[in-house]
Amino acid sequence: MFDAIAARGGAAAAVSDEAWLQAMLDAEAALARALAAAGLIEEAAAEAIAAACRADRFDAAAIAQGAAGSGNPVVPLKAALTEAVEGPAAGHVHRGATSQDILDTAAMLVTARALEPLLEDLRAAAHAAAELARAHRDTPMAGRTLLQQAVPVTFGLKAAGWLAGLDEARRWLVEIRLERLAAQLGGAAGTLASLDDAGPQVLSGYAEALGLAEPAAPWHTQRGRIGELASALAVTAGAVAKAARDIVLLSQTEVAEVREARGGGSSTMPHKHNPVAAICALGCAQQAPGLAAILLGAMAHEHERAAGSWHAEWRPLGELLRSTGSAVAWLRESLEGLEIDPERMRANLDLTGGRLMAERVAAELGGEAAHAALKADDFPAAVAELVGEERAAELLDPAGYLGSAGAFVDRALKDHDREG
C-alpha cells in the first residue's frame, strides 16, 4: 500500500527478500571458488556449487520459515543448497564458514548494491541543487531565522547550502562503499581453524570474488562498519530532510517563493498544489535517525559471537537503506522540477516595510538613531529624513546587502564541480 512512497528509487529493490537471498547465495558461491583457488577443493566442485547459487531455484518463503528453528536463515539455506548440488561437491557447501559469515557478507553485498542507485540519485539531486545555485546566484530573498525574516540572502546561497550537505553526505557514503564494506569469513569463532593455515588465503580470494574489502581479521563482534554505515545513511537523510523542509516551507501559499512542477492535489481541495515530492522526501528521511539508533545501540556484541545484538541489525539495516534511498529519490524529483519565483521573493522582502535592513541602517546611523527610526510608522521615510532619499534608497536596497553570498555560492559550486 505504501511502497510507491516509501520504496522509491532503486535502493528498495536491492534490499528485497529476493535480493538478500541472492546475496547469501553469492557469498556461498564466492566461498566455494576461494576454496578451490586455495587448493582445498576441486575447481569442478566449486563451479557445481556456484551454478546452483541462483535465487530462482529456491523457495524464499520456506527458507524464511526454516530460520525460526535455527535463529537465522543461513542454516536452512545451507541445507537447501546442499540438496541442490549434485554429486560429491555437495559435501563442500559452506565449508569453513559459519552462518554469520554468510549473512554479514550478504549484508555488505546488499548494501553495496543498494548504494549504487542511492548514490546516483544523490549525485543527480546535488547536480539539480547546483544548477539552482548557479542560476540564482544573485537572486535576493529574505533570510529567515527562527522562521522570522532576518537579513537578505540569495536563493543561490540557500541552494548552495543544500548542495554542500548533499555532497558531504555523498563523499562519506562513497568512502564507506570503497573501504568499509568488507567480506566476513571467520568460521565458528573467528579463527578459520577448519581451514588449517589456508584461512587468510581463502579470505583474500573470497573478498576479491565478491568485490568487497578484505578485512585484517574477522569482525563478527566488531560492529564499527555497521555503525559507520548507519551514521552515514542517517546524515544523508538529514541532508535530504533539510532541503525538503525548506522547499515545503517556501511552497506555503503565504510564501509561494518556489513551486514543484508536479505538485499534488487534495482529495477535497482542488485548488491546492502540494509539494508532494518534498513532503515524501521528508517523510522517508525522518525514519532514518530511529533506524540508525537501533543499529548503533546494537553494537555491543558478546565475546566472539553475539546473542541477540546481531539479530537486531537485520531488519533495521534493510529499512534504513530503503528509507534513505527513497528520501534521496524523492528529493531528486523535487529539485529537478523546482520552479523559482524571483518576483515573489522580491515582494516578500518588502513585507516588513524595509525593517529587515535594520542591521545595515544601524551600522550607518548608530544604534540609537536606527532604533528611533524603527519605531516610526514609516521606516523608509524616517531613514530618508536622517540621511537623504538617495542614501536611504541605497541603505534599504536588499540587493545591496548580500555580503559574501555570491562568493560562498561560487565556492560551493567549485567544490561540487571538482568532483563531477
C-alpha 106/C-alpha 23 separation (Å) is 5
183: left (phi over 0), alpha (psi -120 to 50) or beta: beta
- Per the annotation, the verdict on 305 as an active-site residue is yes
C-alpha 296/C-alpha 42 separation (Å) is 42
Q: Which cell is 324 given?
A: 534513505
- Annotated active-site residue in 54, 245, 259, 305: 305
Buried b (16+ CB within 10 A) or exposed e, 370-406: beebbeeeebbebbbebbeeeebeebbebeebbeebe
Please count the other Cβ atoms lying within 10 Å of the Cβ belonging to residue 243: 27
State the distance between the two ends of the chain, measured CA to CA, in whole angstroms. Answer: 37
C-alpha 35/C-alpha 91 separation (Å) is 13
Degrees, nearest 5: CA angle 390-396-400? 95
β-bridge mates for residue 377, sequence order: none
- Annotated active-site residue in 171, 266, 315, 411: 266
Quote the DSSP letter at residue 177.
Answer: I
C-alpha 285/C-alpha 6 separation (Å) is 10
Which residues have a catalytic role annotated?
266, 305
